[in-house]
Amino acid sequence: MYGERVTSVDRPATQPGQQVPDGVSPTALTAPAVPGAGHAEPGPAAWPTGEVPAGGWPQPAAYQPVEPDRFTRLVIRLHERAPRWAVPLAALGCVGMGMAYALVSDPTHSDPDARPTCLLKLTTGLDCPGCGGTRALWYVLHADLPAAARHHFLFVFSLPFLAYLFVAWAGNQAFGWRLPELRLSPKVIGGFLAAWLAFSVLRNLPWAPFTALYV
């Protein structure tokens, strides 16, 4: 190959008829980029007009990581240092506080407008989707399931599933237990929510037998 300049054994520096931009050596068009050798200029295929823009190609912007505030750092530090059973224990404490409130307040003998009360029922006289749940919990804690179901049937129905999900999660977090997973498909969850909505509407109808659902 006489009269033709090459940069490798059998590869020419430029293609026949290819224009070399001013200030760019022909070897820079075909030489591979060497890691750590600095920024390599892209080849002609990456140039829309076949020329290098004035001032060179822009460098990518360097974003500095945002430093977390003191409260976030404190929470992260506590989470890293806390034992694995701390979160399940805190969740169990919240559940225990709810049960203790139901036992101490005795909602079955409180006035309808006693605080705290349901704002919807106080203003409109209608049962909200959760009305009767505290009373149902009180009856469950006293092993009176018929009375509990009378005040909120869906709450009593969902309690075994909620209890199993909590035990499976807490046991896995605290002790590494591998209990059988309770899989709830989107259809099952959607069906339960639809049943809850229908229950919330039917319990407010002023005709028998729906009046028996009103609490």
Q: What percent of the chain has pLDDT over 90?
A: 29
Q: What is the Cα–Cα distance from 45 to 178, expressed in whole angstroms?
A: 56
Alpha carbons within 13 angstroms on the beta-carbon side of residue 4 total 13
Give per-residue pLDDT as tens, 123-164. 888 888 988 899 999 999 999 999 999 999 999 999 999 999
Give per-residue pLDDT as tens, 164-197. 999 999 998 888 888 888 888 999 999 999 999 9
pLDDT band at 21 (very low <50, low <70, confident <90, very high): low
Q: Check: CB of residue 130 under 8 Å from CB of residue 153.
A: no
24 lies in a domain?
no
137 lies in a domain?
yes
Is the pTM higher than 0.85? The answer reads no
CA distances from 47 to 41, 58, 142 (A): 10, 13, 79
Domain count for the chain, please give it. Answer: 1
92 lies in a domain?
yes
- Domain with 157, as residue range(s), is 86-213
127 lies in a domain?
yes
20 lies in a domain?
no
